[in-house]
Amino acid sequence: MSEPIELSTQSTPTAETIAPEAVQNRTARARQLLGMKGAQPGETNLWKIRLQLMKPITWIPLVWGVVCGAASSGHYTWTLENFLMAIGCMLLSGPIMTGYTQTMNDYYDREIDAINEPYRPIPSGIIPLPQVVAQILILLIAGLLLAVGLDFWAGHHYPSVTMTALGGAFLAYIYSAPPLKLKQNGWLGNYALGASYIALPWWAGHALFGQLNWKIVILTLAYSLAGLGIAIVNDFKSVEGDRKLGLKSLPVMFGVRPAAWLCVLMIDIFQVAMAAYLMYIHQNLYAVILILLIIPQITFQDMYFLRDPLKNDVKYQASAQPFLVLGMLVVGLALGHAGV
C-alpha cells in the first residue's frame, strides 16, 4: 500500500511574489549607476563604480544649461556643425566636468558619506583612493582639452569656453576641498552649487555661439539664486550627518521647517524677478509663459515639500523641477530674441 503524499505547507514562489523583488533589485541597480540615494550595494564592476562616482543623474541640468546658453546667444542655427559643437559643449559640461566635480566631491566627502550613504564606492572601500584621484585628474585634463578644442573650432580670439571651464574647475575644487570647502557654509556652498548648475553651463553655451557679455553674466548669476534654493533641497537628506560633523547646512542652521520656506522662496522670487526683467525688455509673451511655469512649482511646494521636507524632497524635485528647467529655456529664448 502506497504511503500518503504529504502536502508541503510552504508556498512555492510565484511570478507575483518574484516580480516585485526583481523590479526592486533592478531599480536599486539603476539608482546605483545614476549615483542616487538608495542604491544597491555590492557592485564590483570597476567601470560601473567609476560611473557611479560621476553621478550621471546630475549631468542633466548642466546639459540643459548649455541649451539655454545657446538659445540666449541668439546666433544658434540648425546646421550640422553647430549641432556637433553643441553636443561637444554638452559633453564638456555634463559627463566630463560634472563627473570631475562629483568624483572630487565624493573623495573629500568620504567621512560624511560613511554616515549618510555608506554604500557609496569610497566609504565602502570598493575602489582604492589612488584610483579615485586618477579619475579626477583624467576628467579634468580631458575637460580642459575639449574646451580648448571648442574655442579653436568656434574661431574664438579669446578662449571664453576654456576660461569658463577653468573657472568651473576651480569653483568645484574650493567647494569640496579644504581649506575653503565652501559646502561647509550653507549660503556660500549652495550658491556655488546653484551657479554651477545654471550660470556656468549657460556661459559655455552662450560663449560658444555668441559673445558672452556682462549682462548675461549678471542675469545668470541672479538666476543662480533660484539654483541656491534648489541646492537647499538636497541638504535635507543629510541633516543627521551634517549635524554630527558640524557642517552648517541651512536645515541645520535654521531648522527643517524654516529652511524649507527659505528654499521655496529663493526658487520662486528669483524666477519671478526674471519674469519681471523679461517684461522690462518687452518680452511679454515669454514673461507670461515663465509665470505659467512657476505656478505648478508653487503648487507642488505646497502639496509635497512644505508639508514634509524630509520625506518628500525627492518627490517634490521630480514633480516641480521639470517646470523650472523649462522656464530656463524660456528665459534663454527671450534673451536671444531681445539681443541682450
The stretches in the chain having pLDDT less than 70 are 1-43
pLDDT of residue 304: 96
Per the domain annotation, does 46 fall within a domain? no
Per the domain annotation, does 294 fall within a domain? yes
Per the domain annotation, does 243 fall within a domain? yes
Q: Which residues contact 71 (CB under 8 A, 6 or more apart)?
A: 205, 329, 332, 333, 335, 336
CB distance 85 to 153 below 8 Å: yes
CB distance 293 to 331 below 8 Å: no
pLDDT of residue 7: 40
pLDDT of residue 32: 58
What is the DSSP secondary-structure string of 156-176?
-SS-HHHHHHHHHHHHHHHHH
Residue type, 278: L
pLDDT of residue 6: 42
CA distance 338 to 231: 30
CA distance 24 to 332: 39
Q: Which residues contact 109 (CB under 8 A, 6 or more apart)?
A: 176
Backbone angles phi, psi at 185, to 5 degrees: -105, 120
Q: Does the global pTM surpass 0.95?
A: no
Per the domain annotation, does 132 fall within a domain? yes
pLDDT of residue 114: 86
**Number of structural domains in the chain:** 1
* Angle 276-280-283 from CA coordinates, rounded to 5°: 90
Q: Which residues contact 128 (CB under 8 A, 6 or more apart)?
A: none
Per the domain annotation, does 202 fall within a domain? yes
Which residue range(s) make up the domain with 188? Answer: 54-338
pLDDT of residue 118: 86
CA distance 61 to 238: 21
Cis upstream peptide for 95 (omega within 30°): no
Give pLDDT tens digits for 59-83: 999 999 999 999 999 999 999 999 9
CB distance 172 to 130 below 8 Å: no
pLDDT of residue 148: 98
pLDDT of residue 111: 86
Residue 248's DSSP bridge partners are 185
Cell 580642459 -> residue: 144
Give pLDDT tens digits for 11-63: 455 555 545 555 555 555 555 555 555 555 666 789 999 999 999 999 999 99
pLDDT, averaged across the chain = 90
Per the domain annotation, does 203 fall within a domain? yes
Among candidate residues 93, 160, 105, 165, the one with its CA nearest the CA of residue 135:
105
Per the domain annotation, does 31 fall within a domain? no
pLDDT of residue 39: 53
pLDDT of residue 9: 42
Among candidate residues 43, 30, 232, the one with its CA nearest the CA of residue 120:
43
